[in-house]
Amino acid sequence: MANVKMHSIYKKFGTTEVIHGVDLEIEDNEFVVFVGPSGCGKSTLLRLIAGLEDVT
């Protein structure tokens, strides 16, 4: 696998900021779970990690 490191991630849709300065480091062979209520940005964060969305 690989390491994932992202620092100061921000994402906006229009004028609405949905991801606010997230720092993320996932080491090789680590298992990570994102937990939160509906609409809190879990799927958006995963799409940013996967490169399906551009960081703004």
Question: Strands 16-26 and 4-13, how do they pair?
Answer: antiparallel
Instruction: Report in angstroms the alpha-carbon separations of 30 from 9, 16, 39.
Output: 20, 32, 25
What is the predicted pLDDT for the residue at 35? 97
Q: How far is residue 7's CA from residue 10's CA, in Å, rounded to a whole number? A: 9
What is the predicted pLDDT for the residue at 2? 86
pTM: 0.84
Domain ranges of the chain: 4-50
Greatest alpha-carbon span in the chain: 37
The pLDDT tens digits for 1-56 are 689 999 999 999 999 999 999 999 999 999 999 999 999 999 999 999 999 999 88
What is the predicted pLDDT for the residue at 47? 95
